[in-house]
Amino acid sequence: MTETRPKTALIVGAGDHLGSAIARRFAREGLQIVATRRRGDLSPLIAEVEACGARSYGFHSDARDEEQVAELVEKVETEIGPIDVVVFNVGGNVRFDILETSARIYRKSWEMCAFAGFLVGREVARRMLPRGEGTILFTGASASLRGSRGFAAFAGGKHALRALAQSMARELGPQGIHIGHVVVDGLIENRATEELFPDLVASKPEDGIIKPDHLAEIYWQLYRQPRTAWTFELDARPYSEPW
For residue 228, the domain's CATH number is: 3.40.50.720
- Please give the residue range of the domain that contains residue 140: 8-236
On whether residue 55 sits in a domain, the answer given is yes
Strand ordering across the sheet containing 177-184: 56-60, 32-37, 8-12, 83-88, 134-141, 177-184, 233-236
Q: Give the largest CA-CA distance in the chain.
A: 65
- Rounded CA separation 138/121 (Å): 9
71: amino acid identity, one letter: E
| Closest to 84 measured CA to CA, from 124, 36, 141 | 124
- At residue 3, the pLDDT reads 54
Strand partners of residue 86: 10, 136
- At residue 165, the pLDDT reads 98
Query: Which tens digit of pLDDT belongs to each residue from 103-114?
Result: 999 999 999 999
- At residue 94, the pLDDT reads 82
Residues across the chain: 243
On whether residue 211 sits in a domain, the answer given is yes
- Number of domains the chain is built from: 1
In the predicted model, residues of the chain with pLDDT beneath 50 are 1-2
* Cut 0.85: pTM above it: yes
On whether residue 1 sits in a domain, the answer given is no
On whether residue 166 sits in a domain, the answer given is yes
